[in-house]
Structure 1
Amino acid sequence: MDRQRNHQLVLLMKEFDLSHRGLASEVNRITADMFGDNHPRKCTDRHVRRWISGEVRWPWTRYLHALEHIFGRPAQTIGFIPRGKSSTNLPAPPRRSPAPKEESMLRRRFMIAPAAVTVAVALGIDETPSGGRLSMSDVDRVHQRIGRLDAHFFAIGGGPLAEVCQVFIERLRAALASCTYGDRVERALHGAISSLYASAGWAAHDMGDSTHAALLHTASLQSALLAGEPTAAARAWSNLALQARSEGRHREAVQITRAALDNRRARQDPRIDALLHARLAIGQAHTADRNGAARSLLAAEQAYDRVTPGIPAQAWLGFLSPAELSGLAALTHQALGQYDHAEAATIQALKLLPAPMRRQRTLYTVQLAELQLAQGERDQAAATITQLDSSSLDSRRITDRITAVQRTLTA
């Protein structure tokens, strides 16, 4: 019988980041778990080469069970061809050991946080793998959930998202401890964890917990370094700079942002380049560097002009738009005492803001009212704040600012 190369197995090994020796090691691990470790015949890279070449078209049953478990699909869709009708249906494998105790512990910890349950279940966090071999497809599903989590933040604010992110991080760390994977998948998982720490830090900041937010942004940077992802590191540096600015450490914020801008690979993404320069401008304005702030605002505009239409942004950069750049420019003008320019830029941001960005719309509306009050325009500020609907907002930081404006108006 002519040999036929098993291309499907080759593709799966590439997707799961498995070498010949790595797949053989995985098969031995699974078969030891299923059948015991006393079997004299061990799988080797030679077996794998024979499967790929087509010399062996239907491996031994114990190996087929292991391969089905590793790749999560029937043997025939892995590219293997049964010898005949009798071999088409594999006998059921022995019952495997129960799920590790850590999984049930994480489930109990998750269930005692009722405010976060609805969001977490909707995101599918409970479906995070707790065993077996992880592939880049698993990582892609993780990033899809993170993208939905970020969209939830853009819509209504932080709310319970810091807690949800932490539960997700625990599950991914459990997967790193209990699953098997290649180097590429490991780095990608650390990148996902960095993204979750960053989202958790923003949520904590949004709920007024600056101390916790700073710790989460630091953890995001550490995971980004483990992942070796320049964009994740730039995001973490940018968030740490924003945290420093919110605590009044403006010179430190400028230094941190400049450190992020030193990463040329990250700046190859024009959106990241634009965001970093816009935030640098705010820091420079707070340190009375007017010329530097003007240059940075111009650099932000020029960077955003390089964005290629039709190419979607990374999920976490979904907020960055011409509207956001106008809002950041308004903060720069406000720090420079140019309240009329800041008001005009904020109005421009509100005009350009996409409809789903409800949190940002509320934020800019409050910002506009604050700027109007700073210029003595009480009637305009009252009209601005009256048209505000924050009923669906879940952001303590923004609601506190709304309350402060209302108190000023009624004083």
Structure 2
Amino acid sequence: MDTRTNAIFTVLLGEYGFTHRSLADEVNRISGRIFGRPGAATDRDVRRWISGSVRWPTGRYLLPLAEIFDRPPEAMGFVPRGRSSRLPAPPSSVRPGQEKPVKRRAFLNASTAATLALVLRIEETPARGHLTLTDVDRINTTIGRLDAHFTAIGGGALLTVATAYIDRLRDTADRCTYGPRVEQALHRAISGLHASAGWAAYDAGDNATSRLHHADALQSGILGKDGRAQARAWSDLSLQARAEGRHREALSINRAALQTRLARQDPRIAALLHSRLAIGHARTGDHGACARSLLAAEKAHDRFDTTAPPPPWLRFLDAAEIAGLAAIAHRATGRLPDAETATAQALRLLGPSMRRNRAYYGVQLAELQLAQGDTTSARATAAAVDTAAVSSPRISQRLATVHRQLATAQETP
């Protein structure tokens, strides 16, 4: 039996300051509130979750854990297995009012999306009355959590949640009263949410929906007079154009974004744009420009202010991601050994919570090894890719293609 240690859950305990005993007590307290009777978790249960001997706790413990750590089970390192991933509804013996903090209808669908909607409490966003900057701050916090979930598990399961929250914020914008400052802040928040939805659609393989969300993100960023939101939207639109094979359009968008004042002032945005510009140059055959853009991305990365936290949507952009994007550019220029080296570097640098990116670059490494005829390494790499806790049809489809090609290679004399 596979009992790999749940490193993500171990890190979470440290970050939140829980001992095994104190976490069990908190789980039991919240379980009592949800189900009407205290839970029976012990420090031994917590040790089993950490060790991996229990890869998917019962719903009586999963729901409290999702509330405590503010993330779905997969983002805590738990791995669903068939029907065991279904969470139960609260028992009928729970009296009305006891379950107020966790709304009953969130239990009707036990998918990752439903669990995430429960944890994020998107229905607490006002849809009537007067809206304040404090309300918008809470909205931005929720969107930041959504971005964090995407980084952890991918976007396939998040599209429904992001779309539902967009509808909620549209109601907020139409039905609440607010002043000009709040209006701009709300447009900025909606821009960020459209960007998240666009990435979720991209991960689900729905390019048309992704493109529409990124265009809406740009429009809302303009209405909110937010340079960062606009830079993010332009960057995402360039990636979407590249994904659809419109490489010169992607180049034009990237160049325009790099000319903005914000791109010149913010090294994180500059690093992202230069990295994607390098890929665009590679796809259009300009290898010299590709090399210059990769160098510019590295120089921008060296200027990162590590004392100030990045905005939630840019937290993924670290040394591992810079290496991974460079690998994509090298691959597009035909420099497969360099691409393999950079991809392996990205995998070494990735943190334990970056499950989605780890699966993405794991598949990319297997593809590169296979393309160079190293079927032995490709087979080992592909076997090690863990997509069980990642919700990304795009990644899963690429991995399936690798396995099919390996099977064919094995059959060839």
Q: Provide the TM-score with structure 1 as the length reference.
A: 0.72
Q: Taking structure 1 as reference, are residues 112 and 171 closer, same or farther at Cα in structure 2, changes over 3 Å only?
A: farther
2:233 is matched with: 236
Matched, 1:272 2:278: no
Q: Taking structure 1 as reference, are residues 273 and 386 closer, same or farther at Cα in structure 2, changes over 3 Å only?
A: same
Matched, 1:215 2:209: no
Select 1:351's aligned residue among 338, 348, 351.
348
Q: In structure 2, what is the Cα distance between the partners aligned to 1:388 and 1:125?
A: 33
> Which amino acid in the other structure matches residue 174 of structure 2?
A
> Which amino acid in the other structure matches residue 220 of structure 1?
A
Q: Answer whether contact 1:146 1:196 (CA < 8 A) is retained.
A: yes
Q: Report the alpha carbon displacement of residue 328 of structure 1 after superposing the two structures with TM.
A: 0.2
1:293-336 Cα deviation digits (max 9, x unpaired) = 11111111111111111210100011100000000000010000
- Structural RMSD (CA): 1.8
> Which amino acid in the other structure matches residue 255 of structure 1?
S
1:341 is matched with: 338
Q: Report the alpha carbon displacement of residue 111 of structure 1 after superposing the two structures with TM.
A: 9.8
1:113-142 Cα deviation digits (max 9, x unpaired) = 874322112101010012222221111111
1:10 is matched with: none
Q: Taking structure 1 as reference, are residues 329 and 169 closer, same or farther at Cα in structure 2, changes over 3 Å only?
A: same
Q: In structure 2, what is the Cα distance between the partners aligned to 1:121 and 1:380?
A: 42
Matched, 1:317 2:317: no
2:367 is matched with: 370
Q: In structure 2, what is the Cα distance between the partners aligned to 1:266 and 1:171?
A: 32
**Correspondence list, 1:81-230, <5 A:** 115=111, 116-230=113-227
Q: Taking structure 1 as reference, are residues 365 and 214 closer, same or farther at Cα in structure 2, changes over 3 Å only?
A: same
Q: Taking structure 1 as reference, are residues 262 and 181 closer, same or farther at Cα in structure 2, changes over 3 Å only?
A: same
Q: Report the alpha carbon displacement of residue 267 of structure 1 after superposing the two structures with TM.
A: 3.6
Q: In structure 2, what is the Cα distance between the partners aligned to 1:250 and 1:112?
A: 43
**Correspondence list, 1:284-323, <5 A:** 284-323=281-320
Q: Report the alpha carbon displacement of residue 364 of structure 1 after superposing the two structures with TM.
A: 0.5
> Which amino acid in the other structure matches residue 205 of structure 2?
G
> Which amino acid in the other structure matches residue 388 of structure 1?
V
1:275-308 Cα deviation digits (max 9, x unpaired) = 0000000000111111111111111111111111
1:26 is matched with: none
Q: In structure 1, what is the Cα distance between the partners aligned to 2:167 and 2:110?
A: 17
Q: Report the alpha carbon displacement of residue 159 of structure 1 after superposing the two structures with TM.
A: 2.3
Moved more, 321-330 or 124-133: 124-133
> Which amino acid in the other structure matches residue 355 of structure 1?
P
Q: Report the alpha carbon displacement of residue 268 of structure 1 after superposing the two structures with TM.
A: 1.7
Q: In structure 2, what is the Cα distance between the partners aligned to 1:267 and 1:222?
A: 22
Q: Answer whether contact 2:106 2:118 (CA < 8 A) is retained.
A: no
> Which amino acid in the other structure matches residue 123 of structure 2?
D
Give structure 1 stretches of 5+ with no counterpart.
Answer: 1-106
> Which amino acid in the other structure matches residue 396 of structure 1?
P
Q: In structure 2, what is the Cα distance between the partners aligned to 1:122 and 1:159?
A: 17
> Which amino acid in the other structure matches residue 268 of structure 1?
Q
> Which amino acid in the other structure matches residue 189 of structure 2?
A
Q: Answer whether contact 1:201 1:213 (CA < 8 A) is retained.
A: yes
Q: In structure 2, what is the Cα distance between the partners aligned to 1:295 and 1:405?
A: 32
Q: In structure 2, what is the Cα distance between the partners aligned to 1:128 and 1:273?
A: 33
> Which amino acid in the other structure matches residue 180 of structure 1?
T
1:347-369 Cα deviation digits (max 9, x unpaired) = 11011111111000010010000
Q: In structure 1, what is the Cα distance between the partners aligned to 2:314 and 2:272?
A: 9
Moved more, 276-285 or 124-133: 124-133
Q: Secondary structure at the match of 1:381?
A: helix
> Which amino acid in the other structure matches residue 259 of structure 2?
D
| Count of residue pairs the alignment pairs up | 305
Q: Provide the TM-score with structure 2 as the length reference.
A: 0.71
> Which amino acid in the other structure matches residue 150 of structure 2?
F
Q: Answer whether contact 2:188 2:221 (CA < 8 A) is retained.
A: yes
Q: In structure 1, what is the Cα distance between the partners aligned to 2:373 and 2:136?
A: 52
> Which amino acid in the other structure matches residue 184 of structure 1?
R
Same amino acid, percent of matched pairs: 55
Q: In structure 1, what is the Cα distance between the partners aligned to 2:374 and 2:384?
A: 16
Select 1:256's aligned residue among 253, 258, 268.
253
Q: Answer whether contact 1:110 1:167 (CA < 8 A) is retained.
A: no
2:87 is matched with: none
1:19-48 Cα deviation digits (max 9, x unpaired) = xxxxxxxxxxxxxxxxxxxxxxxxxxxxxx
Give structure 2 stretches of 5+ with no counterpart.
Answer: 1-102, 409-413
Q: Answer whether contact 1:230 1:266 (CA < 8 A) is retained.
A: no
Q: Report the alpha carbon displacement of residue 242 of structure 1 after superposing the two structures with TM.
A: 0.4
Moved more, 336-345 or 378-387: 378-387
Q: Secondary structure at the match of 2:274?
A: helix
Q: Answer whether contact 1:208 1:397 (CA < 8 A) is retained.
A: yes
Q: Report the alpha carbon displacement of residue 110 of structure 1 after superposing the two structures with TM.
A: 9.5
Q: In structure 1, what is the Cα distance between the partners aligned to 2:157 and 2:356?
A: 15
